[in-house]
Amino acid sequence: MRRICFYDTKQYDKLYFDYYKEKFGFEIDYFESKLNSNTAVMARGYEAVVAFVNDTIDAQTIDTLYDNGIRIIAMRCAGYNNIDFKAAFDKIHVVRVPDYSPYAVAEHAMALLLTLNRKIHRAYNRTKEHNFSLNGLIGFDLHGKTMGVVGTGKIGRVFVDISKGFGLNVIAYDPYPAEIADIKYVSFDELCEESDIISLHCPLTKETRYLIDKKHIERMKNGVIIINTSRGALINSEALLSAIKEEKVGGAGLDVYEEETEFFYEDKSYSIIQDDILSGLISMPNVIVTSHQAFLTKEALNNIAEITLWNLKDYFDENFLVNEICYQCVRPNANRH
């Protein structure tokens, strides 16, 4: 059996990967530590590494893995902005899970919007204390409002369909519009100006980093709602917090945060959060922060485990790596970075 090691392990990871490991012929050792330049040496003696979006896979980490015999990293997620592909080129293959459940993420985005708008989180806390007052719980009808969707890949298109089901008027921005889709595309500036709600469903790249910044927030409607279930650095968090304090932004539902690595997926309930911006966002009554859980459904976890191990099996069987992410790839059908 092939020996692989698994970083940043949570109980729900083990549950699904253990279910599939014998089927694919793998022996898995689970590490609680995140993958980084200090922990990469733990991969010595293994044939592959399974990593996650919040691991630090920089040049030093890659060199250490390579020196210890690792030739493939299997990302158990869709995102890969945490990887130094230039350092990995010609050394280590990188595969990912591009599609695990677009419904999981899209539905969570809508759940954030509904909870934020109808103040469900505040009502829940009140009734736990037998406070049944309705003061301060006024929301607005979604029907007839304009939803701006940024990114119309599989998740974005599912979210468009959900939004239309609520009677929202949907507009979208994507530099690569979907060819077969009943979607009205506009420029990003138009989307900012016309939307009552903006939901982000695009990858983090050099072009999309701080896509929402102070300048674009100023173009938005007063009271705009912003939802982000993609990547934290799509939003300049400092600018967002300022806009919420100034009541320019009416609310934010955030499943991601640009400096989430040290906090998300961990129990910090006995710690003082030293990140003033994150603490400020959490303290706002019109902000909901969830800890990157949009993907967390049974269906998604099952698909992540199965596809991750398929990716590794294809590598060891010397098959074409359908889900490989390449740096300067010249072969056809490659996912170029």
Residue 309 half-sphere exposure, CB side, CA atoms within 13 Å?
26
Q: Which residue has the tokens 């077969």?
A: 180
Quick check: is 231 catalytic? Answer: yes
Quick check: is 260 catalytic? Answer: yes
pLDDT digits (tens, 9 = 90+) for 262-312: 888 888 888 898 999 999 999 999 999 999 999 999 999 999 999 999 999
One of 47, 231, 306, 324 is an active-site residue; which one? 231
Q: Give the pLDDT of residue 223.
A: 98
pLDDT band at 329 (very low <50, low <70, confident <90, very high): low
Q: Give the pLDDT of residue 81.
A: 86
What is the rounded average pLDDT for all residues in the chain?
A: 94
One of 47, 258, 260, 306 is an active-site residue; which one? 260
Q: Give the pLDDT of residue 195.
A: 98
Q: Is the pTM value of this prediction over 0.85?
A: yes
pLDDT band at 337 (very low <50, low <70, confident <90, very high): very low
Across the range 28-37, mean pLDDT stands at 96
Across the range 247-255, mean pLDDT stands at 98
Residue 3: φ, ψ to 5°: -100, 125
Quick check: is 126 catalytic? Answer: no
pLDDT digits (tens, 9 = 90+) for 177-212: 998 889 999 999 999 999 999 999 999 999 999 999
Q: Give the pLDDT of residue 180.
A: 80
One of 258, 292, 306, 324 is an active-site residue; which one? 292
In angstroms, the CA 13 to CA 261 distance is: 18
Q: Give the pLDDT of residue 332.
A: 44
